Structure 1
């Protein structure tokens, strides 16, 4: 049970663009620290190191004998120390994401990781020792202490990992080696991708900007971008293969020691979701490949006048799609108006991100690709990173990330240990925010062809979120299973990738061999193995939730929804969805979510335009 800094919630870089010259907001990180040399940062680190050392001396080997109130006090001290470390690492991580090519940013990030590891090593005993307390003894402590009962949800979730806990010395070794193990490989991946340049025609572009060209209206530009991306990653595929193989083997070793039954089990437990629920989701989505992706992309090929689509046509705009640039103020208004139409309180929280310097939106070399919302710590506020280019999809990404940010603000009242949500629930507010914005824009559009283009764009986003992410999950599962038999060559990894892509996207595509290297740009495979199904979980959950909202059968729906967000990590999916009459463990739940996508495709098939 090692210390874990709260991570940003990332968005697939494939659906986020780059380019443009509009003045866009930049964040101000001084709400965390004024800079690398801020005396407050040094003082915080020195103070928390002293506190952590004293904490260990005070409590090690004594937790089981503490009365409930005394244990609650220890938890409060632990939470305060964790929040200080969280603030430091949030600052370091955000600075690194600003420009991973800046050597000083990388040096500072690594230095803070190493310092944080030393400090948190003093605290490592705490969660290990808590998990050794017998259930009956812990229940007695809860019964005698209201203060301790506040931490019941966190202790409940901590104890999920009890069967997988190693002895203290092994846990300490794994904890201290993290900075030279997985974290170092993560950094190598990030710095490599940030430093890459992709040749597209006469241009030399960042990976993010080149990926953006895959949605250009000009097919020749898309093809050139696809060739350039393939060439850039093929040139480095041995390195990316080494990173992937090493991390997969590292995971296999750790999983074996911890007795996880399969590669995805740790992620599922972290998400507080049963393996069987994830299996049901994956099976439901895979069974829907023909009626969703296969059917839609057959339609798209017809609209584009193509017998077969190439992989660079997947995100191509439709002939009737409005490709005019949407200025940032217009995007802001669209999103906030949509939020306000659902809940003025939600919009009021969202407005804070624009009134203050909490968003970094401009694309630039060295900056992290894609988009994310970083919760930082409850005593500060979240930050949003975007690469905004003024496309409709970028507006939806803004709505998505703002949803994360609003969720994180509302959940902050739960405190550092319990404000974070499992990844499966972390996508709730973001996808709901997207859906609200889409519905608002669609309702305001009267032109039939433009409505079709908007609807098709939404279907594509949903396919990217559901079908594509489950395909990613299946790729990871196959890769990790095969890695147990030995190292995989770059070519074999590419074969697994292509098998999954063909199966999920369907016969409308004629995949060229150069697509076999595209697995290498997906950061989730490196940073957060098996994260990707959380997108599909969240999308289907929100589809079902939004359907309940539209039906109007739940009194005070908006208030119940805000309560869901405020709960943070204190409740699991069954408790959170119960007020809305939903249950993710029921097979019909996933069908309800997938039927929404299928219904949109039905509408597109019936459109005579």
Structure 2
């Protein structure tokens, strides 16, 4: 039987030696191919033949594939040793070359978006086979694009507009130092260190940490509030007044290739089911021997015995066996990552922290980076990243332009894989261990589903109110309103949390991004509920969904499998799962 050992990944399938003459020749060949592609400028016209148009698309695919391999190598090599000067230099070189190649091929993108009439565009799209969706989506974005000179002006002004405002926000908030008095001593913390304290087992420590965090942001609320007001106004002026989007959130929806109705249904269901998390917080208070949770306590850990440890071999086999129980095909996809030595699992100086899955090309097995310490959480991380990997392998028959799933579907396989593992582990542990793992699980579901949905509901209200001239205090009042709405009477929320909205970088960096977390996680939960009802037969439906990659709009793809994500009843299935887990915890406690 195969024994899985921790090791560094093998990147030789991408590049054997970046210092060799052969590598230099590869880079030169890519640049020559791009120069040849530029010659197509002369023949671009609305009457271009379907055959010639398709040939150009395939040329672009080849360029993207080949450059993706060398630039992907540079990125992965840097991740495996961020302190290497050689890796850093190669990554910088590839980024510079990538920007140059993008500029050289941009003419095709601009022509397709703006310079061809709809009738001829439809003619070419119909003959493009599986690339129809790729071309359709570009045309959709073109509807909100401006002329080239206008786009250039906006890009130029953005440097001193939205981008500049975000940089100022980051510069101010990243410089914050939080003074915390513990055990009679005052210590200074950065925000990352403070995050550990807000999850302390000690209630007083949690309160002190939160007060230090919120107090610092409150002191700076004038400037942070003004930055946000200007970002929101800029979003409205550019996206609605100039580009013609129907609402502030529709900008993000169209970017995600998702209908407004779908997102409205998702948010409505999250709002209707806030009591599911409220009841959980009541149960958690019992476990913490508290009459009622304060907002300071919602991420408090519950007491647990010494954490179970897993060997790397056992962790890998557990995840592969879990996948095999659901679908031997998907387990085999995941096994490829190990067989081909595409996993970097060892902990060493200079290596990037955290974990990720990188798909360089649909033609190549993905690469997975993680830092394995043997904790239960590491096993779930492994399941999560292998979920991404099997999604990519399932869609490996697609063009590089449509293999990647759109953002709302991107976490489907990763979260689903975690669900399978969670329920397998849950059946094999004691009641006391079940309590601990259930609390942590529902904590995560609140953080990724409930909290993110309410962030989005706040943003909708804040954008509306700022458009009507709201001041910083009005925005704070709106945020408090959403906190009270989501917690009800289950959690005491003190006034200092009103300013928490200034602590959320997503509001500044990427308006309305947060619902993507709710979407991805609740979609996976709803699909998991379907699996529980339909049994083994659901596996083929699930594999078909993954195999589509980004070749179809989410609503269209899922509708083909009898799933209507515009319907509130579908999203409700996901909340039934959360409710079942909360009920299971309540039975264990009482």
Could you say which TM-score interval applies, normalised by the shorter chain?
0.7 to 0.9
Report how far residue 171 of structure 1 moved.
3.4
Unaligned runs of 5+ in 1: 1-22
More moved, 178-187 vs 305-314:
178-187
Kept in 1, the 8 Å contact 2:356–2:385? The answer is: yes
Kept in 2, the 8 Å contact 1:424–1:534? The answer is: yes
Determine the C-alpha separation between the residues in 1 that align with 2:238 and 2:72. 26
Which among 248, 255, 258 is matched to residue 270 of structure 1? Answer: 255
SS in structure 2 at match of 1:65: coil
RMSD: 4.4
More moved, 90-99 vs 245-254:
90-99
Kept in 2, the 8 Å contact 1:114–1:179? The answer is: no
Kept in 2, the 8 Å contact 1:324–1:391? The answer is: yes
- The answer to whether structure 1 residue 348 and structure 2 residue 329 are counterparts is no
- The answer to whether structure 1 residue 506 and structure 2 residue 491 are counterparts is no
Report matched runs for 1:175-324 at 5 Å. 207-208=191-192, 210-220=194-204, 222-223=206-207, 225-226=209-210, 229-230=213-214, 247-256=231-240, 257-290=242-275, 292-319=276-303, 321-322=304-305, 324=307
Q: TM-score, normalised by structure 1?
A: 0.79
Report how far residue 336 of structure 1 moved.
2.8
Alignment match, 1:162: 142
Report how far residue 492 of structure 1 moved.
6.6
Report matched runs for 1:272-421 at 5 Å. 272-290=257-275, 292-319=276-303, 321-322=304-305, 324=307, 326-327=309-310, 329=312, 330-354=314-338, 356-359=341-344, 372-378=356-362, 380-384=364-368, 392-421=376-405
Determine the C-alpha separation between the residues in 2 that align with 1:397 and 1:488. 42
SS in structure 2 at match of 1:418: coil
Unaligned runs of 5+ in 2: none
Report how far residue 115 of structure 1 moved.
5.2
Which among 550, 564, 570 is matched to residue 551 of structure 2? Answer: 570
CA displacement, residues 513-550 of structure 1 (integer Å, 9 cap, x when unaligned): 55456545655445543222122222332222222222
Kept in 2, the 8 Å contact 1:89–1:113? The answer is: yes
SS in structure 1 at match of 2:300: coil
Alignment match, 1:455: 438
Alignment match, 1:594: 575
More moved, 232-241 vs 505-514:
232-241
Cα distance change on mapping 1:136 and 1:402 into 2, 3 Å: same
Q: Which has the larger radius of gyration?
A: 2
Report how far residue 314 of structure 1 moved.
1.6
Kept in 2, the 8 Å contact 1:548–1:580? The answer is: no
- The answer to whether structure 1 residue 152 and structure 2 residue 132 are counterparts is yes
More moved, 90-99 vs 432-441:
90-99
Report matched runs for 1:529-548 at 5 Å. 529-548=511-530
Alignment match, 2:53: 71
Kept in 2, the 8 Å contact 1:194–1:365? The answer is: no
Kept in 1, the 8 Å contact 2:80–2:350? The answer is: no
Determine the C-alpha separation between the residues in 1 that align with 2:460 and 2:17. 41
Cα distance change on mapping 1:476 and 1:391 into 2, 3 Å: farther
Cα distance change on mapping 1:243 and 1:410 into 2, 3 Å: farther
Cα distance change on mapping 1:153 and 1:71 into 2, 3 Å: same
SS in structure 2 at match of 1:166: coil
Cα distance change on mapping 1:40 and 1:438 into 2, 3 Å: farther
Kept in 2, the 8 Å contact 1:554–1:580? The answer is: no
Kept in 2, the 8 Å contact 1:29–1:91? The answer is: yes
Report matched runs for 1:7-26 at 5 Å. none
CA displacement, residues 84-104 of structure 1 (integer Å, 9 cap, x when unaligned): 565566567667878999999
Determine the C-alpha separation between the residues in 2 that align with 1:232 and 1:383. 41
Determine the C-alpha separation between the residues in 2 that align with 1:422 and 1:372. 17
Determine the C-alpha separation between the residues in 2 that align with 1:297 and 1:404. 31
CA displacement, residues 43-90 of structure 1 (integer Å, 9 cap, x when unaligned): 666655554454344236724221111101111122333445655665
- The answer to whether structure 1 residue 469 and structure 2 residue 452 are counterparts is yes
CA displacement, residues 191-242 of structure 1 (integer Å, 9 cap, x when unaligned): 9888988777688777555434544444455445545655676788788667
- The answer to whether structure 1 residue 551 and structure 2 residue 540 are counterparts is no
SS in structure 2 at match of 1:420: coil
Kept in 2, the 8 Å contact 1:473–1:530? The answer is: yes
Report how far residue 572 of structure 1 moved.
2.6
Report how far residue 586 of structure 1 moved.
2.1
Report how far residue 385 of structure 1 moved.
5.4
Determine the C-alpha separation between the residues in 2 that align with 1:187 and 1:100. 24
Cα distance change on mapping 1:358 and 1:152 into 2, 3 Å: same
Determine the C-alpha separation between the residues in 2 that align with 1:396 and 1:43. 42
Equivalences, count: 578
